């Protein structure tokens, strides 16, 4: 491949391809006219579903009593997991294990948010009301949350039938890694953790399922993004042949980044519900449901080792990948860990690589596609290692990479794992990146900053962007023997259909289910180019309807598939249409077919533009006058191309496979400074240089790079799906799961050095994921450089960086020891536990306060939202409390026990609460002391642990809600005791505890 990587699609060659054409999608989207899934009600008499979800990380379902819910007016049906399991089959994954995955819990719940029952009602509000009326008896079980702890002997088992939480383990060797390590002069190793995060599209999941009997037939509208390899799995689960599961996507989809692959679980669930209830059912996911139970990237605990020769030559790599799959290995996982395997040399010429992949199940949300899919984790390991080794070897990190790059004249390059790299000039690209960044100046700046005692760092990350996935690569999860027993899998079918109606207008149908990437615009550019018409004359249908579209298993929007593959199918299909138009024109123009060109809306003889015939006339002839059609031509104009790149063969017997068709590359450099007092990271310079091959539309290319960068930056700095050690979700709102805003994203300099790909029809390479894969590693490298630290944990939020500045090693909350559940619900302080203390002065003497606090009637009057408080026995109370905060109302049953009572001085209170919005336990200590003038000083402290929905809404919201309730209680108490007290902390014992417990449950999502 030529080193000067300018695209042949220059301004001179093409009229439309390669031009920054603004998008045809925009007008509808900007005017509020675009149709998203929640905007359509495609069936009459549609009912609305809400899903009851597990508040427990791990529990047995003992009993579900839906009788009260069923009786609620407007409820039209309720379906439990057991009922769904009766009429469906589990959905398999490529990893053959004893795990049975259903889209709803059957006898056990395995993560907070797992569906337990589905309510269907006349509207969504009623359906959600009914959720509160379903009573589920759970037997809570100890949870396995941290992947390393889950692997330990004696860890709680998620799937008893599996006998372990390790679902899969495979080792691979490419080349001779042991020999390479033995013969190397320098060895480096790095242990790391990569966090669990998710791309969180702003539009959530939406599904409308419609079942019709005799024979069973499902029609499901959803914002599913593919891959449609999941279609046969869904059909199988629902027990129908593929042609009786009709999937339809709407015209617009509000982002996905891979996540909407997981819509397939709800397609299956709602289809089953529709069948059981014989009602068409619509469901729209809410944000809390999305953050707790949709899908996420697989977090990883890993170790990477590297062997270098003395000159800095990288001769060996070892990867140990412990991948947290969440509660199930859910298709298409474990693809995330196998996606990068064939390319695990990165941009480097290293030939000896050892890999061990371990899949662990834990009590967390299952994983799936997410922007970069496996790339961010992989490049974090490899590129952290390169910066680390550069430091150890005393070689500039840019130079170390240069010394190891695959040479520009080696393409196509066969990687040890089997990937066939298409083109590139990595050295030149890196040099261009350094030039754009002003690398020498940045190094001088770092020098100066360090002299002044400031924390300034520079980080690199370079990598490949495998695009257009081989449907066969996931078979790496199977042994050669297992693969021999299965049908071989390879390729990546892409299709496009183009028709021209009798007036000459063009309709293109795509199989790429875009979620905002502008496929319609680019397809119109390509077709306009090929047919010599204007893009405005080309209508592009991006909706898939499996009953009418030319789809195949690879259809969908993932792995940068559009540019790498679909654009080629569109171009080839347009060529077929062009050929036909030329053939028809031939009869009229009477010339050699090779002399005909399509331009300006007409077929012309090259060089004789006055001899031409309008394209619309050719189209009319094809429809109106088939008798006169040239030989071998079918009447009408309707062409479909289905195409699969020939390089995408099956996994061979040595576990090698070319996992993708094009391999763009990304070269990132970041310089940043850390404020030691706060841990704040300020980016000084960020340059990202890309090789995307031929650019089809530079406006869209750079938009994708900006977007991918924002995802990578969010992962690096802010985003984390957090669990406590007991499996309670701590990040259920956008106030807790922090996405970067416009104020957080630093300026990005984008550069291009584009080497056209010989593997794709138009020379373009897939793009969009690249920066999401590299930015986390680059940011971590720069922070490591600034702090001169080896191990750096993401996300690099204020707290973590501050800890690192202090020389501490941050540990994620999920990796801490789980708290033991004792019978009397004593809660030990620690992460995830709400603790507090305070003092208040009450205008009554100690005995009066004591009596009031122990009198159920008195208390019921002052506790906010208390409907009933009854004495259950000596020092045992039960209360029904309804608390509404900001329009969010929930009812709770609170059980209280008083212990260690020393009248009228002190007592300890132990309580438990259960409600539709969550569960929890708390322990409080209260002391009363005389405060003079007949007043009493009441002091208290408490620890509370909450689970379910309420834990997910985060401490900041709970704290505010709690304060409001404390004030209410305090005012009520003082009114009751007839005096004005002075508050210095606020609260009282039982009521205080009830208020705290209730507050913890008050903050649901709706």
Partner 1 sequence: MRRIGGNERHRIELTVNGRSHAGEAEPRMLLSDFLRHRLGLYGTHVGCEHGVCGACTVIVDGRAVRSCTQYAIQAEGATIETVEGLADGERLNALQQAFHEHHGLQCGFCSAGILMSAVHFLKENPRPSEAAVRDMLSGHICRCTGYDGIVRAILDAAGTLKDQTKETIGE
Site for partner 1 in 415-454 (CB under 8 A): 432, 436
Q: What does the alpha-carbon distance between residue 578 and residue 571 come to, in Å, rounded to a whole number?
A: 10
**Cα distance between the two ends of the chain:** 57
| Total residues binding partner 1 (CB under 8 A) | 72
Is 745 a binding residue for partner 1 by CB under 8 A? The answer is yes
Cross-strand pairs, 457: 672
With CB under 8 A as the contact rule, the residue among 614, 620, 699, 878 that binds partner 1 is: 699
Distance of CA 92 to the CA centre of its chain: 21
Site for partner 1 in 571-590 (CB under 8 A): none
Is 34 a binding residue for partner 1 by CB under 8 A? The answer is yes
Is 875 a binding residue for partner 1 by CB under 8 A? The answer is no
Contacts 24+ apart (CB under 8 A), 12-16: 14/529, 15/528, 15/529, 16/525, 16/526, 16/528, 16/529, 16/535
Site for partner 1 in 218-277 (CB under 8 A): 252-255, 257
Burial 5-43 (b: 16+ CB within 10 A, else e): bebebeeeebbbbbbebebbbeeeeeeeebebbbebeeb
With CB under 8 A as the contact rule, the residue among 89, 445, 454, 706 that binds partner 1 is: 706
Site for partner 1 in 496-535 (CB under 8 A): 515-518
Q: What radius of gyration, in Å, describes the C-alpha atoms of the chain?
A: 31
**Which region among 28-36, 555-563, 621-629, 968-976 touches partner 1 (by CB under 8 A)?**
28-36
HEC string for 765-811: CCCCCHHHHHHHHHHHHHHHHHHCCCCCCCCCCHHHHHHHHCCCCCC
Is 698 a binding residue for partner 1 by CB under 8 A? The answer is yes
Q: Nearest CA to 752 among 680, 693, 707, 691?
A: 691
809 burial (CB, 10 Å; 0-12 / 13-18 / 19+) is exposed
Q: What does the alpha-carbon distance between residue 929 and residue 939 come to, in Å, rounded to a whole number?
A: 8
- Minimum Å gap between C-beta 203 and partner 1 is 4
Is 465 a binding residue for partner 1 by CB under 8 A? The answer is no
Cβ pair 291, 200 in contact under 8 A: yes
With CB under 8 A as the contact rule, the residue among 122, 173, 176, 286 that binds partner 1 is: 286
**Which region among 356-364, 375-383, 609-617, 698-706 touches partner 1 (by CB under 8 A)?**
698-706
> Looking at residue 513, what DSSP letter applies?
-
Site for partner 1 in 186-205 (CB under 8 A): 199-204
Looking at the Cβ atoms of 119 and 252, the one nearer to partner 1 is 252
With CB under 8 A as the contact rule, the residue among 418, 468, 707, 981 that binds partner 1 is: 707
Is 711 a binding residue for partner 1 by CB under 8 A? The answer is yes
x/- track of binding to partner 1 for residues 8-27 (CB under 8 A): --------------xx-xxx
**Which region among 136-144, 173-181, 477-485, 695-703 touches partner 1 (by CB under 8 A)?**
695-703
- Minimum Å gap between C-beta 372 and partner 1 is 14
> Peptide bond before 227: cis, by omega within 30 degrees of 0?
yes
Is 733 a binding residue for partner 1 by CB under 8 A? The answer is yes
Site for partner 1 in 115-174 (CB under 8 A): 125
Cβ pair 350, 385 in contact under 8 A: no
Site for partner 1 in 751-780 (CB under 8 A): 751-754
Looking at the Cβ atoms of 126 and 329, the one nearer to partner 1 is 126
Backbone angles phi, psi at 737, to 5 degrees: -90, 105
HEC string for 222-254: ECCCCCCCHHHHHHHHHCCCHHHEEEECCCCCC
Site for partner 1 in 38-97 (CB under 8 A): 38-39
Q: Nearest CA to 136 among 82, 176, 190, 195?
A: 82
Site for partner 1 in 880-899 (CB under 8 A): 886-887
29: left (phi over 0), alpha (psi -120 to 50) or beta: alpha
Q: What does the alpha-carbon distance between residue 685 and residue 430 come to, in Å, rounded to a whole number?
A: 16
Is 743 a binding residue for partner 1 by CB under 8 A? The answer is yes
H or E element: which one contains 741? none
- Minimum Å gap between C-beta 655 and partner 1 is 36
With CB under 8 A as the contact rule, the residue among 29, 151, 162, 815 that binds partner 1 is: 29
Torsion angle, alpha carbons of 703, 706, 712, 716, to 10: -160
- Minimum Å gap between C-beta 449 and partner 1 is 24
Is 942 a binding residue for partner 1 by CB under 8 A? The answer is no
**Which region among 100-108, 404-412, 500-508, 730-738 touches partner 1 (by CB under 8 A)?**
730-738
Looking at the Cβ atoms of 432 and 724, the one nearer to partner 1 is 432
Cβ pair 790, 798 in contact under 8 A: no
**Which region among 464-472, 691-699, 833-841, 910-918 touches partner 1 (by CB under 8 A)?**
691-699
With CB under 8 A as the contact rule, the residue among 678, 741, 835, 984 that binds partner 1 is: 741
With CB under 8 A as the contact rule, the residue among 750, 815, 826, 833 that binds partner 1 is: 750
Looking at the Cβ atoms of 258 and 986, the one nearer to partner 1 is 258
- Minimum Å gap between C-beta 962 and partner 1 is 18
């Amino acid at each position: 491949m030529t080193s000067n990587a300018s695209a042949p699609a220059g301004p001179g060659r093409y009229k439309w391809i390669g031009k920054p054409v603004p998008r045809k999608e925009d007008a509808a989207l900007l005017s509020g006219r675009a149709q998203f899934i929640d905007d359509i009600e495609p069936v009459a008499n549609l009912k609305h579903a809400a899903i009851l979800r597990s508040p427990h990380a791990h529990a047995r379902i003992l009993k579900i009593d839906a009788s009260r819910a069923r009786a609620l007016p407007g409820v039209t049906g309720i379906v439990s997991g057991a009922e769904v399991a009766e009429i469906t089959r589990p959905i398999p994954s490529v990893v053959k294990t004893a795990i049975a995955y259903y889209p709803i819990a059957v006898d056990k719940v395995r993560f907070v948010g797992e569906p337990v029952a589905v309510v269907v009602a006349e509207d969504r509000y009623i359906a959600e009301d009914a959720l509160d009326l379903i009573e589920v008896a759970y037997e809570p079980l100890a949870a396995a949350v941290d992947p390393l702890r889950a692997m330990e002997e004696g860890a709680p088992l998620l799937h008893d039938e599996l006998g372990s939480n390790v679902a899969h383990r495979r080792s691979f060797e490419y080349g001779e890694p042991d020999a390479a390590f033995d013969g190397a002069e320098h060895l480096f190793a790095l242990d790391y953790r990569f966090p669990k995060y998710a791309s969180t599209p702003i539009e959530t999941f939406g599904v409308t399922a419609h079942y019709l009997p005799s024979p069973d037939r499902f029609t499901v509208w959803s914002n599913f993004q593919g891959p449609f390899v999941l279609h046969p799995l869904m059909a199988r689960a629902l027990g129908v042949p593929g042609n009786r599961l009709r999937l339809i996507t709407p015209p617009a989809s509000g982002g996905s980044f891979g996540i909407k692959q997981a819509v397939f679980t709800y397609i299956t669930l709602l289809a089953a519900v529709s069948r059981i209830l014989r009602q068409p059912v619509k469901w729209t996911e809410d944000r809390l449901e999305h953050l707790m139970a949709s899908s996420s990237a697989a977090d990883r605990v890993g170790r990477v080792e590297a062997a270098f020769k003395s000159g800095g030559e990288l001769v060996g790599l070892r990867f140990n990948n412990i991948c947290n799959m969440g509660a199930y290995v859910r298709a298409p996982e474990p693809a995330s860990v196998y996606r990068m395997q064939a390319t695990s040399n990165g941009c480097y010429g290293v030939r000896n690589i050892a890999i061990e992949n371990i899949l662990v199940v834990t009590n967390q949300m299952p994983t799936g596609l997410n922007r970069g899919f496996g790339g961010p984790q992989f490049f974090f390991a490899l590129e952290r290692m390169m910066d680390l080794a550069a430091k150890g070897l005393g070689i500039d990190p840019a130079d170390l990479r240069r010394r190891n790059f695959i040479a520009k004249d080696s393409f196509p390059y066969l990687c040890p794992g089997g990937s066939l790299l298409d083109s590139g000039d990595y050295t030149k690209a890196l040099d261009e990146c350094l030039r754009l960044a002003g690398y020498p100046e940045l190094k001088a700046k770092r020098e100066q900053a360090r002299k002044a005692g400031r924390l300034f760092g520079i980080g690199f990350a370079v990598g490949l962007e495998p695009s257009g996935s081989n449907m066969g690569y996931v078979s790496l999860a199977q042994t050669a023997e297992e693969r021999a027993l299965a049908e071989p899998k390879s390729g990546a079918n892409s299709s496009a259909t183009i028709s021209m109606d009798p007036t000459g207008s063009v309709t293109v149908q795509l199989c790429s289910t875009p979620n905002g990437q502008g496929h319609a615009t680019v397809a119109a550019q390509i077709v306009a180019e090929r047919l010599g018409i204007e893009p405005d004359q080309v209508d592009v249908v991006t909706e898939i309807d499996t009953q009418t579209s030319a789809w195949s298993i690879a259809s969908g929007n993932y792995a940068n598939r559009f540019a790498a593959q679909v654009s080629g199918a569109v171009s080839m299909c347009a060529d077929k249409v062009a050929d036909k138009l030329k053939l028809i024109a031939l009869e009229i123009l009477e010339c050699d077919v090779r002399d005909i060109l399509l331009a300006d809306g007409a077929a012309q003889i090259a060089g004789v533009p006055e001899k031409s015939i309008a394209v619309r006339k050719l189209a009319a002839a094809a429809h109106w006058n088939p008798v006169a059609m040239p030989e071998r031509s079918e009447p009408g104009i309707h062409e479909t191309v289905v195409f699969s790149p020939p390089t995408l063969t099956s996994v061979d017997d040595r576990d090698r496979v070319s996992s993708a068709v094009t391999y763009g590359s990304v070269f990132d450099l970041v310089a940043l400074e850390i404020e030691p007092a706060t841990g704040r990271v300020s980016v000084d310079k960020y340059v990202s240089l890309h090789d995307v091959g031929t650019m089809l539309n530079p406006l869209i290319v750079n938009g994708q790079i900006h977007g991918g960068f924002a995802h990578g930056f969010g992962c690096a700095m802010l985003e984390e799906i957090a669990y406590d050690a007991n499996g309670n979700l701590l990040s259920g709102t956008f106030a807790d799961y922090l996405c970067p805003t416009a104020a957080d994203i630093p300026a990005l300099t984008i550069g291009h050095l584009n080497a056209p790909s010989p593997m794709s029809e138009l020379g373009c390479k897939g793009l969009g994921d690249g920066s999401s894969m590299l930015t986390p590693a680059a940011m971590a490298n720069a922070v490591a450089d600034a702090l001169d630290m080896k191990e750096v944990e993401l996300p690099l939020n204020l707290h973590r960086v501050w800890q690192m500045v202090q020389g501490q090693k941050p540990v994620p909350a999920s990796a801490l020891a789980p708290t033991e559940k004792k019978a009397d619900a004593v809660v030990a302080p620690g992460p995830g536990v709400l603790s507090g203390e305070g003092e208040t002065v009450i205008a009554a003497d100690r005995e009066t306060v004591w009596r009031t606090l122990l009198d159920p009637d008195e208390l019921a009057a002052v506790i906010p939202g208390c409907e009933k408080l009854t004495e259950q026995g000596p020092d045992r109370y039960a209360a029904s409390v309804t608390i509404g905060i900001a329009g969010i109302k929930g009812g709770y049953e609170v059980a209280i026990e008083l212990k260690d009572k020393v009248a009228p001085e002190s007592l300890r209170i132990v309580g438990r609460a259960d409600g539709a919005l969550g569960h929890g336990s708390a322990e409080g200590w209260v002391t009363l002391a005389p405060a003079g003038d007949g007043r009493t000083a009441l002091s208290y402290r408490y620890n509370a642990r909450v689970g379910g929905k309420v834990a997910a809404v985060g401490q900041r919201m709970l704290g505010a809600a709690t304060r409001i309730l404390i004030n209410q209680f305090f005012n009520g108490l003082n009114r009751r005791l007839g005096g004005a007290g002075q508050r210095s902390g606020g609260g009282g014992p039982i009521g205080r505890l009830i208020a705290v417990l209730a507050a913890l449950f008050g903050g649901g999502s709706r």
